[in-house]
Amino acid sequence: MTQRRYSARLQNKRLVKIHTGNYYVIDAVCKHCQHVNTVGFAGWSAIKCEGCGHEIYRTPVYPAVHRAFRRLSRGTNAKWTGWGIIMDLIDMQKIKLKEVVAIGAEYGFSKEVIQMRRTDWIKMHIDLEWKVMHV
Ligand SMILES: [Zn+2]
């Protein structure tokens, strides 16, 4: 069983001066336990919350993909709702296909299945665009 993922609430970006230079830091507030984790502004996508130990993410994208796969694996999501969320996030370049493949593996989805869904998704949209252009 994989643990739940949370996104962070980012606030209070500020410049700090240390001997090697000036750096921006930001408070990443855990949405699970409200612990304030102070981290560098740049260079991270997820951290382990010092308060509760959960992984918290910079953006809601990764938790959303985890949620979609979790529901798909339980059959609690209408199939195309779950896949649609994942494919829309790839289309919007919020996440890469290879990252989706890595997350999907945690929920028992093979690379081949995910790539097949991606191909179906693209084909469906090309067909739709063709129909829209030819009505
Ligand atoms: Zn926490």
Query: pLDDT tens-digit profile of 6-41?
Result: 899 999 999 999 899 999 999 999 999 999 999 999
48 alpha carbon to ligand 1 midpoint, in Å? 8
CA of 38 to the centre of ligand 1 (A): 12
Question: Which tokens sit at 38?
Answer: 């102070």
Which ranges of 23-107 does DSSP label H, i.e. alpha helix?
61-74, 79-91, 97-106
Ligand 1 center–CA 49 separation, angstroms: 5
Cα(28) to centroid of ligand 1, in Å?
10
pLDDT digits (tens, 9 = 90+) for 71-81: 999 887 676 68
Beta bridge partners of 14: 25
How many angstroms separate the alpha carbon of residue 3 from the centre of ligand 1?
Answer: 13
Query: Could you tell me the pLDDT band of residue 104, with boundaries at 50, 70 and 90?
Result: very high
Q: What one-character-per-residue DSSP string does 90-116 give?
A: HHTTSS-HHHHHHHHHHTT--HHHHHH
Span from the CA of 104 to the centroid of ligand 1 (angstroms): 24
Residue 58: closest CA among 119, 10, 23, 21? 10
Whole-model pTM?
Answer: 0.74
Task: From 95, 48, 37, select the one nearest 69 (Cα to Cα).
Answer: 95
Task: Provide the pLDDT for residue 103.
Answer: 94
